[in-house]
Amino acid sequence: MESAQADVVYELVTIGFTNLGVSAPQCISRAFLLKEGFYAGQVYRCQAWHAIWLLDGSSLEFYDTAGNQVKTLPLAPEVTRKAA
């Protein structure tokens, strides 16, 4: 993933956490997801909330502190195409 696309996805995660009422979205940690040793996406954590973006997906999925999916944010095709 190029840095510009990573920045776009990160900004969307920040907006998503803010819209869900997470009190400190500026404190997001990010980790790479691997599948069979290959880059598969990213997980973003903020407090006990998290969001997941997979390379083969076309959305960001947000989960609350209990692990329940609470929001799906569709990504524009140009974001996912450039990031792959």
The CA distance from 64 to 81, in Å, is 28
Range of 26's domain?
A: 3-83
What are the CA-CA distances from residue 77 to residues 14, 38, 58 (Å)?
Answer: 19, 22, 7
Give the tokens for residue 35: 């599948």
The residue with tokens 């997906």 is 57
Give the tokens for residue 79: 């974001």
Q: For residue range 33-63, what is the model confidence (pLDDT) as tens digits?
A: 999 999 998 999 999 999 999 888 888 999 9
Confidence of residue 84 (pLDDT cuts 50, 70, 90): very low
The total of structural domains in the chain comes to: 1
Looking at residue 14, what is its pLDDT? Answer: 92
pTM: 0.82
What are the CA-CA distances from residue 35 to residues 10, 65, 72, 74 (Å)?
Answer: 21, 24, 22, 22
In percent, the amount of the chain with pLDDT more than 90 equals 55
